[in-house]
Amino acid sequence: MKVTELTDALIDLALAEDIGDGDHTTLSCIPIQAIGQSKLLIKQHGILAGVDVALEVFQRVDPDLQVEVFLNDGAEIHRGDVAFIVSGSVRSILQAERLVLNIMQRMSGIATVTHRYVRQLEGTSAKVLDTRKTTPGMRMLEKQAVKIGGGT
């Protein structure tokens, strides 16, 4: 399997697990025609990772969602920054939200810690390497996050 196939399989599995037979709260409370937008507001300093995967999730949930990206993978981020704004069906945004946040929080955390270690090792011959000891199903994303943070 290619990395994209693994990512696609993870997205499919995660959406099926999270939404199942439907997001009952959203289905009962949000009108089908409701249109809106949401922004990813950064809560703390670090290195952003997972934007590309988030775009895939939004596309998979609803190809009509529009995403305006302000910060890309690898960007140094600060509290209050806005990474992107997604616009379109409120139901679709809410269906994608949890998976997008979970993936981006995990990947950004890994990228941030990796970046800290890489900076501490500057001037030495040491390198930060990823490991095969990863979370089941998340290996490719976790390894990608290490690279985004400056590791190998």
Distance in angstroms (rounded) separating the CA atoms of residues 137 and 135: 6
Q: Cβ–Cβ contacts within 10 Å for residue 57, how many?
A: 24
Q: Any catalytic annotation for residue 2?
A: no
User: 3-state class of 140 per DSSP?
Assistant: helix
Annotated catalytic residue within 127, 133, 143, 147: 133
pLDDT of residue 3: 55
pTM above 0.85, yes or no: yes
Q: Is there a contact between 112 and 77 (Cβ–Cβ < 8 Å)?
A: no
What averages of pLDDT result for each successive group of 10 residues across the chain (152 residues)?
73 89 85 97 98 96 98 98 99 96 97 97 94 85 96 94
pLDDT of residue 127: 94
CATH, range 3-148: 3.90.1170.20
pLDDT of residue 137: 82
Residue ranges per domain, the chain? 3-148
pLDDT of residue 1: 40
Hey, what are 140's tokens?
């490719």
pLDDT of residue 104: 98
